[in-house]
């Protein structure tokens, strides 16, 4: 199976968050919300633009008791996830998907997350490119 290519095109930043669009193999899937850029500070900033490997992750005992995505090899950072959430208060540097966008939020995050995970089901190799 070919490498699945996830791309996030960031297009808006407020003092509260960074908004963008997520594409899978070139097709638009959903909106995204991340923290604003704060010099890649752990738990305070979105991650730097770049290309990163992604794996499925399910950590028993964590607050994310469902399978999610783990972005690897982010310089100076760890446990960068793609998980459900709607505002910057729901993330400590992770990526939140949503089906619709507000000024500083994404909506229907659970539905967007389920859609993304269903499309990625069975994928063996995934890479994330953030612009």
Distance of alpha carbon 11 from alpha carbon 77, whole angstroms: 23
Structural domain including 33 reads 4-130
Model pLDDT, residue 67: 84
CA 125 to centroid of chain Cα atoms: 16
> Which CATH number covers residue 115?
2.40.440
Sequential pLDDT tens for the chain (131 residues)? 799 999 999 999 999 999 999 999 999 999 999 999 999 999 999 999 999 999 998 766 666 567 899 999 999 999 999 999 999 999 999 999 999 999 999 999 999 999 999 999 999 999 999 99
Model pLDDT, residue 58: 79
Model pLDDT, residue 65: 63
Considering only CA atoms, give the Rg of the chain.
13
Distance of alpha carbon 17 from alpha carbon 28, whole angstroms: 21
Model pLDDT, residue 66: 73
Query: How many structural domains does the chain have?
Result: 1
Full-prediction pTM beyond 0.75?
Answer: yes
Model pLDDT, residue 63: 62
Report the candidate in 107, 125, 111, 10 with the shortest Cα–Cα distance to residue 69.
125
Distance of alpha carbon 44 from alpha carbon 50, whole angstroms: 18
């Amino acid at each position: 199976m070919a490498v699945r290519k996830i791309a996030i095109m960031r297009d808006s930043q407020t003092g509260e968050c960074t908004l963008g669009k997520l594409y899978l193999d070139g097709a638009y899937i959903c909106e995204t919300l991340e923290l604003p850029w704060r010099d890649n500070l752990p738990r305070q900033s979105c991650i730097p633009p770049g290309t990163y490997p992604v794996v499925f992750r399910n950590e028993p005992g964590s607050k994310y008791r469902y399978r999610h995505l783990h972005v690897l090899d982010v310089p100076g950072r760890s446990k960068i996830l793609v998980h459900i959430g709607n505002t910057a208060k729901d993330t400590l540097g992770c990526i939140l998907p949503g089906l619709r966008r507000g000024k500083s939020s994404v909506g229907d995050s659970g539905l967007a997350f389920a859609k993304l995970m269903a499309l990625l089901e069975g994928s063996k190799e995934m890479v994330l490119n953030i612009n």
